[in-house]
Structure formats: structure tokens, C-alpha cells
Amino acid sequence: MKRLAIPLFLVMCVMGTVNAQTKPAAKKATVKASPKPTTAPAIKPQDIEEGKMLLTKSDCLACHKVDTKVVGPAYADVAKKYPYSAANVDLLSSKIINGGSGTWGAVPMAAHPALTAADAKKMVTYILSLNAK
């Protein structure tokens, strides 16, 4: 009986640590992917204002204008292509942070690794709100 108890104890220890390690990782994954087609959170007017301000302060306007294509697509066209939804806000904000290419043409968009996800989401909220105007 003793001989069995020791390996059993070890196995339980290992399982315990595996559990402890996978739990936070699983949490991160759900935060990142969030492909839930849930109803979009209501657009907060404050986020639109802040997003617009953040865009002005960053380098975005060197390549984007609201109504005309420059290096990147016009923001009005982006808003037409992507209806405002939680999934699209996540998608576009991660493209702004990580860079993207192939959706609008051959020219890629540079990554913006210094942006926080929260700020990028506000920028996207502003851009997608253009559709309503």
C-alpha cells in the first residue's frame, strides 16, 4: 500500500502544478480572442471624442484621412466595411497595434506596438462611428 501511495502522491502534485499553470493561460486566451458575437457595447460619446484626439496625436493622419484614401483607406470607407461591433473593434484594434496588410491593397500598415489596447479601441470606436454620421 505504501508503495502505491508515493507515486500517487507525485502524480497528484504534478497534476496540481499543471492545473496552476494552465489556468492563467486559458484566461489570457479568452481575453485576447473574444470572438463572441455578442451585442456590441453601446458607443460612448466620450470614447469617440477620446479616440479622435488620440488619432490626432498619433501618426495615423499621415496615412489616413476621413474622406479620401491617402496611403491607407479613408476612415469613412473603413466604417462602411466594418459595422460597429465588439468583434470588429477587437479585430481592427489588434491590426492597428500589430500592423496589417492585404485588406485594402498591397501597402501594409505599420505596427503601433506602443499603443495600449484600450487606446486603440477608442480610435476604432471613433473610426467606426463615422458610419453613423
Q: Which three cell numbers stand for residue 47?
A: 470614447
For the bound state, the minimum distance from the C-beta of residue 71 to ligand HEC, rounded and expressed in Å, comes to: 5
Q: Does the annotation list 53 as a binding residue?
A: no
Query: Would you say 16 or 99 has its CB closer to ligand HEC?
Result: 99
Nearer residue to ligand HEC within complex by CB, 65 or 95: 95
**H or E stretch at 48:** helix 45-57
Report the 10 Å Cβ neighbour count for 39: 8
Q: Least distance to ligand HEC from the beta carbon of 82, Å? A: 7
Query: Would you state the cell numbers that stand for residue 60, as one nine-digit string?
Result: 495615423
Radius of gyration of the chain (CA): 22
Measured over the CA atoms of residue 44, residue 48, residue 50 and residue 51, the dihedral's sign is: positive
Annotated binding residue 12: no
* Binding residues vs ligand HEC (CB under 6 A): 55, 58-60, 62-64, 71-73, 78, 92, 95-96, 100-105, 107-110, 112, 123-124, 127
Rounded Cα distance between 92 and 27, Å, is 22
**Closest distance to ligand HEC from the beta carbon of 49 (Å):** 15
Binding site per annotation, positions: 60, 64, 109
